[in-house]
Amino acid sequence: MIFSMFAKKQSPLAAFCTELSVPENLIRVAGHETTKASSRIDKRAVVLSLTIMAAAGFFVERFRWDRGVWKSSRRYLRDTNLDVITAEAIVWVHSLLGKLWLNDVLKDHEMIERIGPLTFFAALKIALHMVEAETGVHFEKEAIERRKFYFEGLKDHNIVEAFATVLLRSVGRMSLAEPLRTVDELLPPLEWMPLVLNVNTFFATMPLGYYKAFKGLLKERPDLFPLTKIDPPVLKSPHAPRPVAA
DSSP 14-76: HHHHHHHTSHHHHHHHHHHHHHHS-TTB-HHHHHHHHHHHHHHHHHHHH--SSSGGGTTHHHH
Q: Summarize the confidence of residues 76-92 as an average pLDDT.
A: 89
Please report, to the nearest 10 degrees, the dihedral formed by the alpha carbons of residues 36, 130, 218, 122 taken in order: 100
Q: What is the per-residue pLDDT across 118-134, written as a single tens digit (0 to 9) for each?
A: 999 999 999 999 999 99
Residue with more model confidence, 43 or 76:
43
User: Model-level pTM?
Assistant: 0.85
Can you give the residue ranges of every domain in the chain?
10-224
Alpha-carbon Rg for the chain in angstroms: 18
Greatest mean pLDDT among 52-61, 75-84, 193-202: 52-61
Amino acid found at 70: W
Distance CA 129, CA 123 (A): 10
pLDDT of residue 59 exceeding 90, the answer is yes
Going by C-alpha positions, the residue among 69, 33, 63, 70 that lies closest to residue 48 is: 33
Q: What is the per-residue pLDDT across 161-177, written as a single tens digit (0 to 9) for each?
A: 999 999 999 989 999 99
The string over 222-240, giving b where at least 16 C-beta atoms fall within 10 Å of a residue's C-beta and e elsewhere, is eebbeeeebebbebebebe
Going by C-alpha positions, the residue among 96, 77, 122 that lies closest to residue 209 is: 96
Q: Summarize the confidence of residues 85-106 as an average pLDDT.
A: 96
pLDDT of residue 104 exceeding 70, the answer is yes
Q: Summarize the confidence of residues 135-143 as an average pLDDT.
A: 97
CA angle 97, 103, 105 (to 5 degrees): 105
List beta partners, residue 41.
231
Q: Summarize the confidence of residues 194-205 as an average pLDDT.
A: 91
What one-character DSSP code corresponds to residue 189? -
